[in-house]
Copies of this chain bind each other. A is one copy, B any other.
Amino acid sequence: MGRGAEARVIRAPVREEVRVELGPRSYAVVIGAGALAETGQRLVAAGFGGRCALVTSERVGALYRKPVLESLRAAGFAPVLVEIPDGEEHKNLASLAVLYERLLEAGVERGSPLVALGGGVLTDLAGFAAATLLRGLPTVLLPTTLLAQVDAAIGGKTGVNHVLGKNLIGAFHQPRLVLADVDALSTLPRRELVAGVAEVIKTAAIGDAPLFAELEERLDRLLALEREVVVPVIAACVRYKARVVAEDEREVSGGRAVLNFGHTLGHAIEALTGYEELLHGEAVAIGMVAAARVSVALGRCRPETAGRLDRLLKRAGLPTDIPSGLTPAALALAVRSDKKSAGRRIRFVCLEEIGRTTFVELSGEEIVNHL
């Protein structure tokens, strides 16, 4: 082989595809570099054509709408672009009304796919609009944050916030296709990337011990966004979540509640700090360490296991201590007010070992007393 050929050696594309098995609502999640540029051809392969809407936020749109629109046009679509302001404060009924109006004015019809490009706030909002416009438009999700790629975009939860609480209004509406382009992670602020790693660590902690060991070994390469590490790690997280969702799509049988590990206290901390001080992933990191501490106090978990979790989160740069100033009484009250509470008892997710959890029925006070 001459020098010229050598220079043109192309690295094999790192790409994985995971199927979320939900009978007639099954769909593929494609994880890889450059996936955004394939949006058009993959929509055609999924049976779509004609009109479609691309919903994105202003910031993400500026970065990535171009390759997506070009790909859609090249595949014969007539995409309509709808951009909405960035930020969790816009994930509400007012933005939803604007989105409905823009989509209807654009002439979307039943069967027109709604393509949502952005982080979890955007995919939740756009997904809910799709769930409820014309009683349901097909959704294609293009998550651009690590958190959205491993969590928000998988499993069909959509919704908006209400002044009385986050995600209080929403619907289950599975997407038809998810394209997670890992290249999009390169423009993510470091703090947001790290917050996404919290959900990756959560997945490993509750259901995938080998992934946890891999993270302990390759955390730096994950944070450096090396494709050879990022793609299989995201795929492992998607695979785990797909399995949980397949068994309990609508949080009926209760199995899906395992995903709430660290979230009972995480949500409480977010609510008490006004959703401004901490990113969701940061609150979940604190919540996981707290949940592990409760598990140890209940005799369900060895202190070494809780320590391993604490160390990995810290190494990623995540906070693990409950913010000073949050009183136990306030925490207990906030835990009780979480929308997932059914009555006064909480189905608390305890860590038993890395990769294994168990549910324990506790009151808000009991949880806080074990911290």
Contacts and interface: CB of A to CB of B under 8 A. Distances in A.
A104 interface: yes
Given A100-B162, A164-B104, A165-B104, A172 B135 contact: yes
A280 B342 CA distance: 40
B342 A104 contact: no
B171 A131 contact: yes
Q: Is the interface of A mostly helix, strand, loop or mixed?
A: mixed
A202 interface: no
Contacts of A250: 135-136
Given A93-B93, A164-B101, A168-B104, A134 B342 contact: no
Interface string A123-146: 000001001111110000000000
B342 A171 contact: no
Contacts of A128: 132
Interface in A165-200: 165, 167-172
Contact of A132 (B50, B101, B170, B341): B170
Given A93-B97, A168-B100, A171-B171, A343 B132 contact: no
Nearest to A110: B342
A136 B172 contact: yes
A110 B7 CA distance: 60
A109 B341 contact: yes
Contact of A162 (B104, B171, B339): B104
A135 B341 contact: no
Contact of A111 (B97, B132, B342): B342
A128 B133 CA distance: 12
Interface string A84-103: 00000000010001001100
A162 B97 CA distance: 9
Interface in A333-356: 339-343
28 contacts: A93-B97, A93-B100, A100-B162, A100-B168, A100-B169, A101-B162, A101-B164, A104-B165, A109-B341, A109-B342, A109-B343, A110-B339, A128-B132, A132-B132, A132-B159, A132-B169, A132-B170, A133-B168, A134-B168, A134-B170, A135-B157, A135-B167, A135-B170, A135-B171, A136-B171, A136-B172, A136-B250, A171-B171
Across the A-B interface, give the 6 residue pairs with the lowest CB-CB distance, nearest first. A135-B170, A104-B164, A132-B169, A132-B171, A134-B339, A93-B97
Given A101-B162, A132-B169, A134-B170, 16 more contacts: A100-B162, A100-B168, A100-B169, A101-B164, A104-B164, A104-B165, A110-B339, A132-B170, A132-B171, A134-B168, A135-B157, A135-B167, A135-B170, A135-B172, A136-B172, A171-B171
